[in-house]
Amino acid sequence: MSAIVIHAAKDLRIEKREAGEPGPGEVRVRTAIGGICGSDLHYYNDGGLGTAHLREPMVLGHEVSGRADKLGAGVSGLREGDLIAVSPSRPCRACGYCLRGLLNHCENMRFYGSAMPFPHIQGAFSQSLVTGAAQCAPAGDLTPGEAAMAEPLAVGLHAVRRAGDLLGKRILVTGCGPIGALAILAARRAGAGEIIATDLSGYALDFAKHVGADVAINMAEEPEALEAYAAGKGTIDTLIECSGATTVLAQALPCLRPRGVLVQLGLGGEMPVPMMTITAKEIELRGSFRFHEEFHTGIDLMRKGLIDVTPLITDTKPLAEACEAFELAGNRNQAMKVQLNFA
């Protein structure tokens, strides 16, 4: 089988790997679609993400769907040929955090395509993948492309869950790449009364409007536009910050009302935080990192027609054009979500 392997920044190769056999409680998946994520782009462009740097070749990818190819002993609820979405979240279920129900904070997490530990955790961008049955969510009549969106959707759902009650509230989402757009979808499903979206790309803001933003502000063209929302002590109930950029946070924070909620979702490296403003306005700062049970929730919402992710899938490239697909995915004025076809 073929797999997409990153060796160093801009050194992406398609290599042959052995297809494994599923053990007890495992499923072998014939991969159909894989979505290119922001973290994949960091490995491709920079050779690392935050403190995680490549120290050996690593298979990329963690947004995948495929067909159940072979079931290991003891697997129930799945049949060979079923379309499934594969969750990359593989907690140990035995450490202190897992036992407290905080599975996304597992001390021994094996998350597909991560260079944080060494040896690295190999990713899911391969034509065949052996995975745990618990990671497999039946996708029913979804398309393989929709099913592969379950992972980024779960990120947005987890952020909205961390935000708390959004019913009828005014929400500001900063950064409207795929995660920001999915956070908008999730916030709208959670009952947000008004959603304001900001970005520097008109292309991204068009998608934000399409998936539910009431107001879309291009900060490159209207750098003062947020000032109206900062009137008094601020008029925004909840800020979901998806850019990971210090300047964006500094522009948005004055808009939060006293005792508003700031959910930091974007990961762009260390960010200086204006702690005096947070303290004086009694703002609640909440981090949002990955997800766990929201993966299956996202699949359920898509299967019921309650969330539609299809407008965000802008391009699907064959496996042989992986490098071209990564270059396209990095262009925020030409693509939203780029997926790879492994068939």
Instruction: Name the average pLDDT for the chain.
Output: 96
If asked whether residues 275 and 315 sit together in one domain, one would say no
CA distance 173 to 218: 12
Largest CA distance in the chain: 63
What pLDDT, in 10s, does the model give residues 291-330? 999 999 999 999 999 999 999 999 999 999 999 999 999 9
Q: Spell out a b/e string for 39-64, using b for 16 or more CB atoms within 10 Å of the CB, else e.
A: bbbbbbeebbbeebebeeebbbbbbb
pTM over 0.85: yes
* Total domains in the fold of the chain: 2
Q: What is the mean pLDDT of residues 73-91?
A: 96
Residue 221 corresponds to which tokens in the numbers above? Answer: 């063209």
Residue at token pair 């140990």: 92
Residues 191 and 161 in one domain: yes
Has residue 301 been placed in a domain?
no
Nearest to 89 by CA among 26, 135, 142, 28: 135
Q: What is the CATH number of the domain that holds 6?
A: 3.90.180.10
pLDDT digits (tens, 9 = 90+) for 195-241: 999 999 999 999 999 999 999 999 999 999 999 999 999 999 999 99
- The DSSP line for 185-203 is HHHHHTTBSEEEEEES-HH
CB atoms within 10 A of CB 263: 25
CA–chain centroid gap for 258, Å, is: 29
Question: Does 142 lie in the same domain as 6?
Answer: yes
For residue 163, give both structure tokens: 């935000």
pLDDT at residue 160 tops 80 = yes
Domain membership of residue 126 as a residue range: 2-149+309-341
Q: Residue 193 sits in a domain of what CATH number?
A: 3.40.50.720
Q: What is the spatial distance between Cα 248 and Cα 123, in angstroms, rounded to a whole number?
A: 31
Query: Which two tokens mark 211?
Result: 């998936």
